[in-house]
Structure 1
Amino acid sequence: MPFEPRNSRYEKKKKGFLKRDKPKVEPKKEVEKSSKVAPKRVKPDESSRAMQKEQPSITQTTSVNLPNGAETKAKSDLSQPVANPDSALKELKADQVSPMTTNQPDMRLTSSEALTVEHQTASNQVTPVSKTLSRRARLNEQKTGNHVMRSKKSSRKGKRTNNATAIRPVKKNKLNRGKQQRRPQMTAKNGKRRFVWIVLTLVVLLVGILGWRGISSYRQSNDYSAMQPKNGKKQEVYIPQGATVQQIGQILVNKHLVHSNKAFLHYVSTHDASNMLAGYYQLSPSMPMKTLVDHLLKGGSDTPVNHDMVLTMTEGEGIASFAKKVGNSNKFTESDFLAKVNDQTFLEKLAKNYPKLLTSAMAAKDTRYRLEGYLYPATYDYAQYQTVEDLITAMVAKTDSEMQPYYSKIKKSNMSVQELMTVASLVQGEGVGDKDMRIIAGVFLNRLDINMPIQSDVAIKYALQTDRVNLSVDDTMVDSPFNLYRNSGYGPGPMNNPSIQAVKAVLNPKDRDKKYLFFVANLKTGAITYTKNQKDHDEAVAKVDKINQGMENR
């Protein structure tokens, strides 16, 4: 048997301790120890108080003077197994305490207090009180303990419970202040690096895009190959009179005959091939750029291939000339066409449908044909028109459609539509190409501003109804309202049907500030000389007169 230190307190009470006699069993030894600790009462927490309301409290009272019979009965009861814990609790209303605590005041502990004392005195090796209780009491104590533990766990998770939630002190991180001070420096450094990378990326992308566009532009401007080398099917292409090189290139692009307008313009400028002629051409996608340009330099046909079913009015052509083409068809006659363009009832109907275009034309006097200048120069398939009236209506509607963007500008120019179309018809007959048309328009407008006669050969030819190239002095003296050598102003009206290009030239004249009042053309080369006074004009005429006199219509 291991050595056990003597306890003088127990030696006094146990007479047979040294003789190894069995001491008398005192049932509530544990209560002695707990009674020792009892003065240090711990305030029960709120959860244990709540459990006291739900469960009947088990009190432990002390009885000091017990009779010998009662003590013996108590011993025997403790040694016997408890059959009915509830009845046992009723009989044992009080617990015995050690004689050491007989003089102390009565201290009653509830089951939850006993459990609290058990936890607080565990370090002092105090025997739990619950061991002396009945089975139901121990179960209740167990439930109460679990409830307390759950309350502690729930309080740790931040849940609201009956127990007071423990507030943990927040430890300040000493490094936070340093990190907050260093973070802006690191952010600025990273921001600089990020900015540099973004700039470099953008520069690389920009250089790549510019390089790609440069290479693509170079390829486009130097691609003279055929669009479809194996496609030899020809298609009809119409190049209008007075079309610019850029307009011709766009026509070829629309017909899918060249890769781009840029390539066409580059070829024409590098091969000096700007003198292309108007007309109808039979071209195919298998032709390279050189073959296409050669065809355009030679000139095309005046009529389309399928001319039996179409009527073509060219730019600058008059109604009288077009009426002859109508008469050559198998459907309409020349006389029917000429009669309809001067039919007052029909004209009023058209003016009502197209007021912006024809109002000023209806008010004009001394005109030969009311609709002169308002039949749009284009190709028309007369097979789809039942009457001459349908054909003329289609031609007027086309003119109105092309003029729509310019009505507001015409109103600001202080010219009526009739006056504008008159100047445009003269420009159409005198000039070739956009540049010369705009300068000639400026010359005519300069003359009109100073009330000087326009003096255009186009007007004299219309008055005489002739196509002769060279006119005599007697021709310029003809008595006609269309003789703009003798009469100042605009005259009665248009002398032909101008293109929309001539209309735009009048609305956007060029070099008006140079005050040109005269011009003369070399009919062989097409070069035009512009002058500001009569003396310079006479000198320019003398230089080209011999060449022009040798030119005649064939």
Structure 2
Amino acid sequence: MIIGVVVSVLALAAIAFFVVPAVKGFFAGEDTKVTAGQQVTVTIPDGASGDTIASILSENHIVENPKDYYAAVKKLNADMSLKPGDYSFTTLMDATKVVQQLMEGPNAGSNALTIPEGLTVDQVADRVAQAYDSISKEDFLNQAKASNYVDDYSFLKDAANDSLEGFLFPKTYSLGDSPTADGVIRAMLDQFKTEYKSLDFASCEAKIKERYGVEMSDYDIVNLASIVEREGLNADQRAHVASVFYNRLAGKLDGLRYLNSDATMMYVTGGEVTADDLQSDSPYNTYKHEGLPPTPICSPSLEALKATLEPTDSDDLYFYITQDEEYFSQTYEEHQQSWN
């Protein structure tokens, strides 16, 4: 009987140690809305179990559902390849990307600069200034002009407003203790160049023109991808959102070419968009001005660029996306039902 009691106690302890963290992680944030893209630094202890890692990721809203983490580990056959250490992630990341980083090893330290997807040049400048004493925000912004780099990076030739918006590629960079603003910017542009070369812009633009009757330049793709980045939460959503925007650019919405995107006005307001904001005459108000805004509104991820180059084939004109729901509709009546 005593042995039975001891076994039961040990079983309960095992459940508390291995199962509870995962369950706690599973329900973490269920009632709290989490903003995607917020930087989070976590430590994966040496010898941490899969359940412990899943719990750390869930509790910090990096991968909300541990099941997604477990699926990614299985997909990448990563069980024995996860490395302990300090990591810099962002909230609501794709589980596969998280596991890939855990396989590569720690990316947070005194020399690490993490630029998440969807940041503006101004926000990048803030992170750079926080990471390096050698660079002030003002120094970075003064250097971050397209005219300073167009001779070395041909993809900047059409950049509007002398802006590098859209081209400071999101990634974790290791640039030493005291880089210059020029060195940081060139590292980001080099990364954009690498990703840019991996994509077949010309072929995809030809297909977009054939399907939608919309002529897109490479700069237009980056511009639209920046909006797609902010409007969708994952690859499938972003490809579908891109198709909605192409349908709007094609004039399928009452014969007009309005994108009707709150995200473009958020670039101006820096946050919430009000009804009064949507009455402004800002060139970034895509409720008032047809076509694309003057510049991209953030640095899009590779995922958003791919989604914009290879959109879902749909006739949808509306979408409604939250952390928990997504609805795509062809008529305004259907769209109203999605959020009423």
Q: TM-score range by the shorter chain?
A: 0.5 to 0.7
Other-structure match for 1:538: 336
2:117–2:170: 8 Å Cα contact kept in structure 1? yes
| Residues 444, 375 of structure 1: alpha-carbon distance in 2 compared, 3 angstrom cutoff | same
| Matched position secondary structure for 1:352 | coil
Amino acid at match of 2:55: D
Match of 1:381 among 174, 188, 194: 174
Cα displacement (A) at 1:283: 2.4
Match of 1:516 among 304, 308, 316: 316
* Partner Cα separation in structure 2 for residue 491 and residue 320 of structure 1: 18
Alignment length (residue pairs): 255
Match of 1:438 among 228, 235, 239: 239
Other-structure match for 1:429: 230
* Partner Cα separation in structure 2 for residue 307 and residue 335 of structure 1: 24
1:410–1:417: 8 Å Cα contact kept in structure 2? no
Cα displacement (A) at 1:432: 0.8
| Matched position secondary structure for 1:415 | coil
Other-structure match for 2:19: none
Q: Give CA deviations for 1:104-132 in whole Å, capped at 9, x if unaligned.
A: xxxxxxxxxxxxxxxxxxxxxxxxxxxxx
Cα displacement (A) at 1:354: 2.1
Cα displacement (A) at 1:291: 2.6
What is the correspondence of 1:179-198 to structure 2 with a 5 Å cutoff? none
What is the correspondence of 1:357-396 to structure 2 with a 5 Å cutoff? 357-361=155-159, 364=160, 367=161, 370-383=163-176, 386-396=179-189
| Matched position secondary structure for 2:305 | helix
Q: Give CA deviations for 1:82-121 in whole Å, capped at 9, x if unaligned.
A: xxxxxxxxxxxxxxxxxxxxxxxxxxxxxxxxxxxxxxxx
| Structure 2 gap ranges (5+) | 1-21, 63-87, 91-105, 209-214
Other-structure match for 1:158: none
1:331 aligns with 2:120: no
Cα displacement (A) at 1:385: 5.9
Other-structure match for 1:297: 58
| Residues 289, 308 of structure 1: alpha-carbon distance in 2 compared, 3 angstrom cutoff | closer
1:405 aligns with 2:192: no
Q: Give CA deviations for 1:3-37 in whole Å, capped at 9, x if unaligned.
A: xxxxxxxxxxxxxxxxxxxxxxxxxxxxxxxxxxx
Cα displacement (A) at 1:457: 1.0
1:409–1:507: 8 Å Cα contact kept in structure 2? no
| Residues 539, 403 of structure 1: alpha-carbon distance in 2 compared, 3 angstrom cutoff | same
2:278–2:287: 8 Å Cα contact kept in structure 1? yes
1:457 aligns with 2:257: no
| Residues 320, 462 of structure 1: alpha-carbon distance in 2 compared, 3 angstrom cutoff | same
Q: Which has the higher contact order (CA 8 A, sep 6+)?
A: 2
Q: Give CA deviations for 1:158-210 in whole Å, capped at 9, x if unaligned.
A: xxxxxxxxxxxxxxxxxxxxxxxxxxxxxxxxxxxxxxxxxxxxxxxxxxxxx
1:316–1:498: 8 Å Cα contact kept in structure 2? yes
Match of 2:289 among 466, 487, 491: 487
Amino acid at match of 1:351: V
Give TM-score, length-normalised by structure 2. Answer: 0.67
| Residues 377, 343 of structure 1: alpha-carbon distance in 2 compared, 3 angstrom cutoff | closer
Amino acid at match of 1:327: A
Larger radius of gyration: 1
| Residues 506, 309 of structure 1: alpha-carbon distance in 2 compared, 3 angstrom cutoff | same
1:499 aligns with 2:301: yes
Q: Give CA deviations for 1:302-335 in whole Å, capped at 9, x if unaligned.
A: 6898554332211001111111222233111111
1:526 aligns with 2:336: no
Cα displacement (A) at 1:502: 0.2
1:373–1:496: 8 Å Cα contact kept in structure 2? yes
2:113–2:174: 8 Å Cα contact kept in structure 1? yes
* Partner Cα separation in structure 1 for residue 110 and residue 227 of structure 2: 31
| Residues 284, 290 of structure 1: alpha-carbon distance in 2 compared, 3 angstrom cutoff | same
Amino acid at match of 1:461: M
Cα displacement (A) at 1:285: 6.5
| Matched position secondary structure for 1:331 | coil
* Partner Cα separation in structure 2 for residue 529 and residue 481 of structure 1: 28
Other-structure match for 1:228: none
Other-structure match for 1:467: 271
Cα displacement (A) at 1:462: 0.6
| Residues 305, 424 of structure 1: alpha-carbon distance in 2 compared, 3 angstrom cutoff | closer
Other-structure match for 1:352: 151
What is the correspondence of 1:303-314 to structure 2 with a 5 Å cutoff? 306=108, 308-314=110-116
| Matched position secondary structure for 1:360 | coil
What is the correspondence of 1:107-186 to structure 2 with a 5 Å cutoff? none
Identical residues among aligned pairs (%): 27
Amino acid at match of 1:283: I
2:113–2:172: 8 Å Cα contact kept in structure 1? yes
Q: Give CA deviations for 1:35-68 in whole Å, capped at 9, x if unaligned.
A: xxxxxxxxxxxxxxxxxxxxxxxxxxxxxxxxxx
What is the correspondence of 1:45-64 to structure 2 with a 5 Å cutoff? none
1:518–1:532: 8 Å Cα contact kept in structure 2? yes
Q: Give CA deviations for 1:429-478 in whole Å, capped at 9, x if unaligned.
A: 111111111111111111111143111111011122x222xx32111112
